[in-house]
């Protein structure tokens, strides 16, 4: 990992084509939609529905999903608190670059710690950023268990699993709140799209 001393001599080039130029070219407002919640809460399913609707309407998008980034960009990281922090930091930087390119970026990460989600928002800078809390109670998420992960965690086969032996810090003031114990995936999709239309 780098530190301030090793990067203090670096200066970003002032390129003529800036984020505003790309926004005008694409005729869309970039944004970062950050989906957070327990495993099994419905983050990826809702993001998938949102992206599909945006794609059909002609919006340029990209989804950064937790499992996918851990197979490449973050495959060297584990699930300690420090590694989770670094995972969020890396994904946040990539999301910002994609937003700079003019895209609507959908990020699906458990991102269990408030401080890391605040970091993500800080890295996003001037871009539209929505913290989207996809809520399901632990009992409901564990009953769904689409990947069988809770079962493995309860047996001790997975360590540092959020909701079992690692905490999830609920957002205190998310931009969007979706309770998938009460709402369908399609209803969640509509809530996110309505937020995006207003911002």
What is the set of active-site residues?
111
Query: In the structure encoding, which two tokens stand for residue 112, read together?
Result: 């269990």
40 is in an annotated binding site: yes
39 is in an annotated binding site: yes
The verdict on whether residue 43 carries a ligand-binding annotation is yes
- Tell me: is residue 38 an annotated ligand-binding position: yes
C-alpha to C-alpha distance for 111 and 133, rounded to whole angstroms: 10
Is 103 flagged in the annotation as binding?
A: no
Q: Annotate the chain with three-state secondary structure.
A: CCCHHHHCCCCCCCCCCCHHHHHHHHCCCCEEEEEECCCCCCHHHHHHHHHHHHHHCCCCEEEEEHHHHHCCCCCCCCCCHHHHHHHHHHHHHHHHHHHHCCCEEEEECCCCCHHHHHHHHHHHCCCEEEEEEEECCHHHHHHHCCCCHHHHHHCCCCCCCECCCECCCCCCCCCEEEECCCCCHHHHHHHHHHHHHHC
44 assigned ligand-binding residue: yes
Dihedral sign for Cα atoms in the order 79, 83, 87, 88: positive
Is 78 annotated as a binding-site member? no
Task: Could you list the residues known to form a binding site, using ranges.
Answer: 37-44
Task: Could you list the residues known to form a binding site for ATP, using ranges.
Answer: 37-44
């Amino acid at each position: 990992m780098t530190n301030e001393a090793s990067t203090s001599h670096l200066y970003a080039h002032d390129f003529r084509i800036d984020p505003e130029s790309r926004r005008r070219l694409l005729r869309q407002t970039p944004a970062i939609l950050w989906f957070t919640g327990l495993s099994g809460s419905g983050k990826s399913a809702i993001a998938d529905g949102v992206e599909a609707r945006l794609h059909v309407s002609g919006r340029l998008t990209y989804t950064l999903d937790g499992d996918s980034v851990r197979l490449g960009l973050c495959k060297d990281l584990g699930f300690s608190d420090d590694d989770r922090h670094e995972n969020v930091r890396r994904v946040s930087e990539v999301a910002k670059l994609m937003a700079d390119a003019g895209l609507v970026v959908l990020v699906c990460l458990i991102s269990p710690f408030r401080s890391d989600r605040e970091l993500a928002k800080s890295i996003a800078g001037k871009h539209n950023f929505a913290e989207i809390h996809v809520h399901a109670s632990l009992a409901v998420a564990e009953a769904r268990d689409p990947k069988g992960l809770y079962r493995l965690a309860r047996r001790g086969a997975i360590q540092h699993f959020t909701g079992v032996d690692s905490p999830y810090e609920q957002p205190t003031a998310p931009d969007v709140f979706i309770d998938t114990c009460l709402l369908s995936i399609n209803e969640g999709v509509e809530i996110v799209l309505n937020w995006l239309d207003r911002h």
